[in-house]
Amino acid sequence: MDFQAYNKILLCKTPIRNVEIDGVNVGYEFQIKYPSYRGAFLSCIEELKFWVDGNAIADGDISFALNGKEFLVGELPECFKEYWYVRTPATIRVRRHGAIGPGEHSVRVYMKHRVPYTGYFGEYLVLDSDVTGTLTTEVG
């Protein structure tokens, strides 16, 4: 099963960060990278889902930030001019009321993505990258 080792880079080990505006919490964010040896256009992402501490996050609560822009998960399949460089993390901001608590949290990322050059006989290889890791909330 080619490509499987690249799933190790999907969920970045960087801390979860609460986001505040003038002391008002507007959600929290963490980072993911594209799970491949190379970059790809965002349009190759067919599905993207997140769970934090076992709870699914609704698509509408997620903002996917990359290349100085923000996208809804539902917009990604249209982003055929937005390239995700393999070493650049995307920031996943969860726009929910209330800060995420201190300490460790379980974060699961599921990405279904098409490998765009694999259509040897018409069918593209579509990969499931499903990774769960523990991230710690940034202090201060």
Partner 1 sequence: MANKIQLGVSLYSFSTEFIHETLNFEQILEKAHNMGYRGVEIVAAQMVPNYPYPTDEWLAECKALLAKYELEPVCWSAYIDMGIRSDRDLTEDEIIQFTLNDLQYAKKAGFPMVRTQHAISPAIFRKMLPYCQELGVKLTIEMHHPHHPALPVWQEYLSIMKNEGKGWLGIVPDFSIFQTMPHQLYLNQSIDFGCRPEKLDEIVKMHAQKADMALIDNGDFSEIEKHIAHEMREKFSAPAKMEQWKDIIDVTEYIHGKFYYLDNDDHDPCIPFEELLTTIRDLGYEGYIASEYEGHHFDETVDSEVQLKHFVALCTKILNS
Shortest distance (Å) from residue 64 CB to partner 1: 16
Three-state DSSP class for residue 11? strand
Shortest distance (Å) from residue 108 CB to partner 1: 19
Count Cβ atoms within 10 A of the Cβ of residue 24 and give its class: 0-12 exposed, 13-18 middle, 19 or more buried: exposed
Closest to partner 1 by CB, 46 vs 95, is 46
Residues 45-104 that bind partner 1 (CB under 8 A): 46, 77-78, 80, 83, 85-87
Closest to partner 1 by CB, 25 vs 91, is 91
20 Cβ neighbours under 8 A, 6+ residues apart: 26
Residues 3-42 that bind partner 1 (CB under 8 A): 3-6, 8-9, 33, 36-41
Task: List the end-to-end C-alpha distance of the chain, in Å, as a whole number.
Answer: 42
